[in-house]
């Protein structure tokens, strides 16, 4: 069986190349893979396409990557009023932004995980987000076509993992992490604790091991 456990954050992101598309879990400060993000900042990977609900808070979360000019495009639903490094980059025309409703972000991730290439929705009809998108009437309602959203990598945060990668999350830190884990080609997870196979109650496992490729334990968080 493949060993999924890595010794540290720098090792687990060592092969993430320039130009990679990366999903980052987290919402409102909870469930962000901050140790993986800082490891990516140290590695210096550039021209990243970032998919995240938020775009950082000061130097925290994705803020350090925007500060370092490592992100070239962002797909987000709530960049956030404290995302000052993102705002500086966007104001200077240094990054592209696709802004979308939070529910649409979730559904695009879910569609990717389910193998659904696109879906029609009434959300955004007649607004700027509809520009350039196919429109049709479904059951008497105007709808626009939204595409599934995947990525090369997902960087996620979980509470516990067993040695093969089954994951459980802690309360609100669950948020976008399970969807992103299922929608990426390679999923990298930082956890508080790694336990033996069989130690997790199957009824509380949220992300099955099949979606997890790499695990790193970050103690003391």
**Shared domain check, 72 and 24:** yes
User: Tell me, what's the pLDDT at 2?
Assistant: 87
Question: Residue 141 pLDDT > 60, yes or no?
Answer: yes
pLDDT at 29: 85
Residues 107 and 120 in one domain: yes
Interval 56-85 mean pLDDT: 95
The SS3 assignment for 83 reads coil
Same domain assignment for residues 133 and 157: no
Residue 6 domain-assigned (yes or no): no
Cα 90 to the center of its chain, rounded Å: 20
Whether residue 140 sits in one domain with residue 32: no
The predicted structure's pLDDT at residue 71: 98
| Confidence class for position 70, pLDDT limits 50, 70, 90 | very high
22 and 32 together in one domain = yes
For 20, half-sphere exposure in the C-beta direction (CA atoms, 13 angstrom radius) is 21
If asked whether residues 128 and 164 sit together in one domain, one would say no
Mean pLDDT across 65-71: 98
The arithmetic mean of pLDDT across residues 41-66, rounded, is 97
User: Is residue 124 located within the same domain as residue 44?
Assistant: no
Residue 202 resides in a domain: yes
The pTM of this model reads: 0.95
Judged against a pLDDT cut of 60, whether residue 179 lies above it is answered with: yes
Residues 176 and 131 in one domain: no
Does residue 56 sit in the same domain as residue 136?
A: no
Among 126, 148, 170, give the residue marking a domain's end.
148
Q: By residue range, what is the domain housing residue 191?
A: 17-99+150-216
Contact between residue 77 and residue 102 where contact means Cβ atoms under 8 Å apart: yes
* Residues 88, 166 within the same domain: yes
Residues 90 and 188 occupy one common structural domain: yes
pLDDT of residue 120: 98
The verdict on 24 and 71 lying in the same domain is yes
C-alpha pair distances (Å), 114 with each of 23, 104, 149: 17, 15, 11
Assign residue 178 a region: left if phi > 0, alpha if psi is -120 to 50, beta otherwise?
Answer: alpha
The residue written with tokens 């700027």 in the block is 128
Given a cut of 80, whether residue 10 has pLDDT beyond it is yes
Q: Tell me the pLDDT of the chain averaged across its residues.
A: 96
pLDDT of residue 220: 55
Q: Is residue 178 over pLDDT 70?
A: yes
Q: Which residues contact 101 (CB under 8 A, 6 or more apart)?
A: 77, 123, 124, 129
Phi/psi for 171 (5° steps) reads: 50, -130
Tell me the mean pLDDT in the region 110-138: 97
- pLDDT of residue 221 exceeding 70, the answer is no
Say whether pLDDT at 160 is over 60. yes
Q: What is the pLDDT of residues 98-115, one digit of tens each?
A: 999 999 999 999 999 999
């Amino acid at each position: 069986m493949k060993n999924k456990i890595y010794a540290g954050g720098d090792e687990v992101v060592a092969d993430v190349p320039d130009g990679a598309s990366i999903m980052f879990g987290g919402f409102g400060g909870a469930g962000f893979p901050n140790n993986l993000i800082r490891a990516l900042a140290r590695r210096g990977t550039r021209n990243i396409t970032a998919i995240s609900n938020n775009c950082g808070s000061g130097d925290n979360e994705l803020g350090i990557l925007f500060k370092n000019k490592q992100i070239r495009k962002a797909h987000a639903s709530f960049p956030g009023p404290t995302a000052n490094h993102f705002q500086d980059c966007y104001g200077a025309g240094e990054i592209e932004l696709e802004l979308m409703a939070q529910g649409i972000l979730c559904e695009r991730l879910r569609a990717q995980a389910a193998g659904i290439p696109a879906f029609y929705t009434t959300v955004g009809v007649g607004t700027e987000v509809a520009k350039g998108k196919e429109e049709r009437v479904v059951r008497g309602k105007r709808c626009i076509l939204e595409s599934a959203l995947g990525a090369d990598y997902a960087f996620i945060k979980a509470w516990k993992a067993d040695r093969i990668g089954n994951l459980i999350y802690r309360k609100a830190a669950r948020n976008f992490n399970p969807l992103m884990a299922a929608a990426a080609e390679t999923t990298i997870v930082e956890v508080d604790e790694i336990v033996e196979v069989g130690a997790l109650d199957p009824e509380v496992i949220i992300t099955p091991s099949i979606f997890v490729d790499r695990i790193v334990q970050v103690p003391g968080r």
